[in-house]
A and B are shown apart, each in its own frame.
Chain A
């Protein structure tokens, strides 16, 4: 009875608390206790650690002590530069510490060292106390845009490690951190993995600041929040959480922060995939439960739908949560293209997914068990081409499918031009040779080709992989149970996909659970002006004005609406 009563009270968002990170799962045995424990017990050790962290190393008044300390800590780190100099006529010893390669050296030379060393000589002689010199340096001497006063060595270290420059003064227990980040970056380029015909050609780069700027440039709103944090004990990777205040459902933001908090202790975050695996709901599923993208326009579109974006420094891919299955089959182009075209293209993709998933299995089932199911002339043709092929259909299909996967993997590893050649060699020459050698039937080659093409139409690479994977078990069960097996396989895949959740949101929505009002962006690509009733991720109170749901710019009476269509807000 308790069992049944408890879940009744859960609403949609309390469900989102249920998915867990793995480390936590081990600790929490009972879901009922989980909630209480989460708030109290596991936090205690965390708090203790925080207290420990608070006992940070203070900055010593002696510059030499500080430098010695730093040199001890960074023993063997040849890229760290300590430059000592004397300030102005007071000859107060000072030093800058920075990491070579991470900084804009010209900025340090021109605005830090030159200011403090050279220009300071024109400062009146009565400025001799270290505190006064510090204040003078902080308030006016250096012309950098970013400047921060810090009070302990830990901040000094983390500051210069992230590309800023620390300035230490003799006789001062404070230091200055000057924003001089300036490392070599890759320029903004076309996102290769998500190319579109129409729409922006910009892709994210490996530098988080450039990426956030690309988003900010498209979304000039004070509602766009970019919350920064650092994850990774060793790597101290910058991670930003982006969302639009007022549109996003605050529960999702809270959940994202909660999950990110839980992985503070991991060693390294090298790529968005690392974070993804830590915080996704079901790491064992082949299906991606977060979407990654390199396209700023996609990020902005999803932000406007009320989703949360996680950006990670060091990778052009950022994560979009929560993710639904249908969105992996959508491309930004769908929205830029005409309504009918967008809709038709979506259906082509659904067909592609179906083909990629089941065509080989159906081929095996039909040729092995139920040749009577297909029209007789076709059945005779297929049987004729299979004449002389020594293998059962399953082996035949496995040979071809596995060689296809080999080719595909090989062509990714090869440089562009060679990769294309390999595709031609593989598809045409090997296929043709296999047919002529009577290893496989020509129909099988057609089936495999269609399968491959089917999986290529999926815009998201991450979403195409699971279908490639699931295809193999389906083929095997088709060989065992025929068409019945294929159907069982489909149902099994469906059960699994329906049970998935992304940050507590059902993965198969809006198909299951059915949300009729959202089908306009799943089964079809509805008109722009109807997309204003935003999906489930938005806060419920965020309803668009009813006039927006028509074609406001065609109504004529309100001439001022012309052309803009209210798309941006």
Chain B
């Protein structure tokens, strides 16, 4: 079973969609409300535009360097001195996100379901599953995602639908205001958020057939953006700007309000199941990206690296003492993440366009 396997564009679609509407999706609305208040829609739209551009760069690069991941073609484009550090930065970003998704999930579980269970147990047990599926290869990660995502999307849809009863359009005001600084911050964080599609830089060589990746990328960003946007609007109409900003887990709070008559009142457990699975899927995908990239960098089989790396992940995950520190760290990722998510693909794309270096290689490799 020593293989990684290929995935179909549809599987890639689900992988990225669950990444966009996964564990980080829980953080986005609060972040947006904090930064731009009721004008988050603009930030979301611009972020969406940036994400589509990123997809464009990634698929452009992917076509030039088919069968190669960023770790392999970055040195070809920028030279070894610049290429390796850049891929390293990207890999660290993946690792950071993987660790982040685990920790955010543990915090969520601690606050909502299992207040007394030590985080080590929560994270450790989840990481064991991550270890298992990552060992099985990308193909299996993709299949598990593909299997679970319809349920996840369906439940999210139900939650949004169930919340319509509380909606109050007047809470959306003011729809337009001009405070450039705030709006700029909001845009940065949405660019970082949608920039999660940079995982495609790692996944591209595994997606077959590759000519459908661009379309898939476009759809996934639009779908993910739509879900995030609707959630954001739904939160605002339910809670209003001020209340949302004060909540630790606004999305979870919103879901808690969903009830079916007076009988089923606590549907949040169902949604914790959703975020458990998304946390697992996100952590698996991001760990895979990190591990595969590292193994390409070092020339080892990533299966040997998995156990130690995931062990280190668990340790790092446990480092911040509380939720506030986690949120602070995450804020940095949100603000400066765009340097990585937008900057790296853009830089590589521009340089390779100027050099036109990979053109011949691409034809040969196919």
Residues of A within 8 A of B (CB): 1, 3-8, 10, 15, 18, 31, 369-370, 372-375, 481-485, 487-488, 491-492, 494-495, 498-499, 506, 508, 511-514
- Shortest Cβ distance from B193 into chain A, in angstroms? 25
- Shortest Cβ distance from A16 into chain B, in angstroms? 13
CB pair A512–B133 under 8 Å, yes or no, is: no
- Shortest Cβ distance from A531 into chain B, in angstroms? 23
CB pair B133–A495 under 8 Å, yes or no, is: yes
In the complex, 24 of the A-B residue pairs with CB atoms within 8 angstroms, ordered by the A residue number, are A1-B299, A3-B4, A3-B301, A7-B4, A7-B6, A8-B205, A8-B208, A10-B3, A15-B3, A18-B3, A31-B3, A483-B113, A484-B113, A484-B122, A484-B125, A484-B276, A488-B125, A488-B126, A491-B277, A492-B129, A494-B144, A513-B142, A514-B10, A514-B146
Residues B124-151 near A (CB distance < 8 A): 125-126, 129, 132-133, 136, 140, 142-144, 146-148
11 new A-B contacts at CB < 8 Å, known A31-B3, A495-B129: A1-B296, A18-B1, A369-B114, A370-B113, A373-B266, A484-B122, A487-B273, A491-B276, A498-B143, A513-B8, A513-B146
Given A1-B72, A488-B125, answer yes or no on A506-B264 (Cβ-Cβ < 8 Å): no
Output the nearest chain A residue to B301 by Cβ-Cβ distance: A3
CB pair A4–B114 under 8 Å, yes or no, is: no
Residue among A369, A481, A484 with the highest chain B CB neighbour number at 10 A: A484
CB of B11 closer than 8 Å to a CB of A: yes
CB pair A370–B269 under 8 Å, yes or no, is: yes
Range of interface residues on chain B? 35 or more
- Shortest Cβ distance from B16 into chain A, in angstroms? 15
Taking a contact as CB atoms closer than 8 A, the residue among A4, A481, A487, A512 that contacts B121 in the complex is: A481
Given A4-B4, A487-B273, answer yes or no on A495-B113 (Cβ-Cβ < 8 Å): no
The 10 closest A-B pairs by CB, nearest first: A512-B147, A512-B143, A7-B3, A498-B143, A499-B136, A373-B269, A495-B133, A31-B2, A512-B146, A487-B276
Contact partners of B147 in chain A: CB under 8 A: 494, 498, 508, 511-512, 514
CB of B343 closer than 8 Å to a CB of A: no
Contact partners of A481 in chain B: CB under 8 A: 114, 117, 121, 125
Taking a contact as CB atoms closer than 8 A, the residue among A4, A482, A494 that contacts B296 in the complex is: A4
Residues of B within 8 A of A (CB): 1-6, 8, 10-11, 67, 69, 72, 109, 113-114, 117, 121-122, 125-126, 129, 132-133, 136, 140, 142-144, 146-148, 205-206, 208, 263-266, 269, 272-273, 276-277, 280, 292, 295-296, 299, 301-302
Contact partners of B117 in chain A: CB under 8 A: 481, 484
Output the nearest chain B residue to A377 by Cβ-Cβ distance: B263
Contact partners of A506 in chain B: CB under 8 A: 143
CB pair B129–A488 under 8 Å, yes or no, is: yes
- Shortest Cβ distance from B133 into chain A, in angstroms? 5
Output the nearest chain B residue to A2 by Cβ-Cβ distance: B299
In the bound complex, what is the Cα–Cα distance between A15 and B264 (angstroms)?
A: 47
- Shortest Cβ distance from B128 into chain A, in angstroms? 8
Residue among A1, A6, A372 with the highest chain B CB neighbour number at 10 A: A1
CB pair B8–A7 under 8 Å, yes or no, is: no
- Shortest Cβ distance from B242 into chain A, in angstroms? 29
CB pair A7–B5 under 8 Å, yes or no, is: yes
- Shortest Cβ distance from B204 into chain A, in angstroms? 12
In the bound complex, what is the Cα–Cα distance between A7 and B136 (angstroms)?
A: 13
